């Protein structure tokens, strides 16, 4: 099976989960912190025009590039589904990851993406969780999803952290 998302050339869900499992073991063996951020592109109205067609791939690719531009030296980055990215931070606390997520959230919200000859901004919601002491990928993903769902309940363009 391919390990990368064909559209964005980053890890796909299955590869991300496999590598996350490996990284969780490393963080526990080395007794260093870790944190997982789930980044969801907030819903937007997809406007198709006769000229450009579906703007969705361009929006996704632009947001992926913005995330990549903010990544620290040691990270794991993947696309978990259509509008959801995962970033695992090796040797980073959930507090530091929350601060990173806040910086990213603001950067994305302020960055205009040209769609159908119009500059439009998009937002993301982010869930952050500590992975310290956890070796089960399912638990870490569930905690991050819980944090993300709490952020989404607050409204678009928000971040929530669960330790």
Residue written as tokens 């579906």?
Answer: 54
- Rounded CA-CA distance 28/99 in Å is 23
For range 69-82, the mean pLDDT: 94
Nearest to 56 by CA among 122, 2, 135, 125: 122
Burial 53-66 (b: 16+ CB within 10 A, else e): eebeeebbebbbeb
- Give the tens place of pLDDT for each residue, 13-64: 999 999 999 999 999 999 999 999 999 999 876 555 545 567 788 899 999 9
If one counts every other C-beta atom within 10 angstroms of the C-beta of residue 99, the result is 14
**How many alpha carbons lie under 13 Å from residue 55 in its C-beta half-sphere?**
21
Token couple for 114:
């040209």
At residue 48, the pLDDT reads 55
**pLDDT tier, 145 (very low <50, low <70, confident <90, very high otherwise):** very high
- Within 13 A of 161's CA, how many CA atoms are on the CB side? 15
Binning pLDDT at 50, 70 and 90, where does residue 135 land? confident
Residue 135 near residue 25, CB atoms below 8 Å: yes
Specify whether the CB–CB gap between 142 and 129 falls below 8 A. no
Instruction: Report the 10 Å Cβ neighbour count for 112.
Output: 11
pLDDT tens digits, one per residue of 101-133 = 999 999 999 999 987 778 889 999 999 999 998
43 and 156 Cβ atoms separated by less than 8 Å: yes
Q: Please state the pTM of the whole predicted model.
A: 0.93
């Amino acid at each position: 099976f391919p390990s990368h998302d064909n559209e964005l050339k980053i890890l796909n869900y299955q590869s991300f989960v496999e590598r996350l499992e490996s990284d969780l073991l490393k963080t526990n063996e080395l007794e260093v912190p870790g944190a997982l951020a789930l980044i969801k592109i907030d819903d937007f109205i997809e406007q198709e025009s006769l000229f450009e067609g579906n703007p969705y791939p361009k929006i996704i690719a632009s947001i992926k590039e913005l995330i990549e531009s903010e990544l620290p030296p040691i990270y794991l980055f993947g696309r978990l589904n259509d509008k959801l990215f995962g970033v695992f931070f090796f040797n980073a606390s959930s507090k530091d990851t929350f601060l990173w997520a806040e910086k990213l959230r603001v950067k994305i919200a302020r960055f205009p993406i040209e769609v159908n000859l119009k500059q439009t901004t998009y937002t993301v919601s982010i869930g952050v969780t500590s992975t310290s002491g956890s070796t089960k990928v399912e638990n870490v993903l569930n905690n991050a999803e819980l944090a993300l769902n709490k952020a989404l309940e607050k409204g678009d363009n928000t971040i929530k952290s669960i330790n």
